A and B are shown apart, each in its own frame.
Chain A
Amino acid sequence: GGIITQTPKFLIGQEGQKLTLKCQQNFNHDTMYWYRQDSGKGLRLIYYSITENDLQKGDLSEGYDASREKKSSFSLTVTSAQKNEMAVFLCASSIPDRGYEQYFGPGTRLTVL
């Protein structure tokens, strides 16, 4: 089995601040994803990366940047944190030959003061 690690677990920032969230996976999966989840609701795709050095925008990419430094790691940057923003950011990885099953990390909970 493998595991996805997200750091930090909790992130508190100030309005206008640039904030970076990190994700590591040891499944050796090619594809990785970043989602945003508001208040226990649905998942919205921010960015995904099919393979190392690839980046694809999801529906919610505005206000975010991403970086796939190597196969095992995928970072997400909030370019300018919005006041009163509160959400959980979830990282996932997958391989296509299992029906596109995605494996999720535990999430980073963001609060902007």
Chain B
Amino acid sequence: QQKVQQSPESLSVPEGGMASLNCTSSDRNFQYFWWYRQHSGEGPKALMSIFSDGDKKEGRFTAHLNKASLHVSLHIRDSQPSDSALYFCAAASSGSWQLIFGSGTQLTVMP
């Protein structure tokens, strides 16, 4: 069983709309959570991190973490066509050298 599961697999939203991506982990040792974004033909880039329960906002992007339920989400408001990409959730536990990646959500923002 994958330790980090993402949903949905793919998501289409209209330009200017809200995109919501979800991630659930199965390992209570995870303490560090990341969202990565990968545009076609490029390597993934870190979008934002969240290490504490609650919300973290950076511009149009808001991440939410609930460690009790092992749930992380990413919300993108006012979505732009340039936000179209593959989004990964990733998690790490203290003392581990690995980031465990989910299988990704393909976001398409339609002009």
Contact = CB atoms under 8 A, between A and B. Distances in A.
Contacts, number: 55
Contacts of A103: 46
B25 to A, nearest CB: 14
A90 B43 contact: yes
Given A100-B32, A101-B49, A42 B88 contact: yes
Given A104-B44, A106-B42, A40 B51 contact: no
Looking at A42, A94, A106, A107, the one whose CB has the most chain B CB atoms below 10 A away is A42
A43 interface: yes
A15 to B, nearest CB: 26
Contact of B46 (A102, A105, A107): A102
A56 B51 CA distance: 26
B86 A40 contact: yes
Chain B interface main SS type: loop
Contacts of B34: 99, 101
Interface residues of B, number: 24
Contact of B43 (A56, A99, A104): A104
Measured as residues with beta carbon below 8 angstroms from the partner, the interface class of chain A is: 20 to 34
Interface in A60-113: 90, 92, 94, 96, 99-107
Interface string B60-72: 0000000000000
Interface of A: 4, 31, 40-43, 45, 48, 50, 56, 58, 90, 92, 94, 96, 99-107
Interface of B: 32, 34, 40-46, 49, 51, 86, 88, 90, 92, 96-99, 101-104, 106
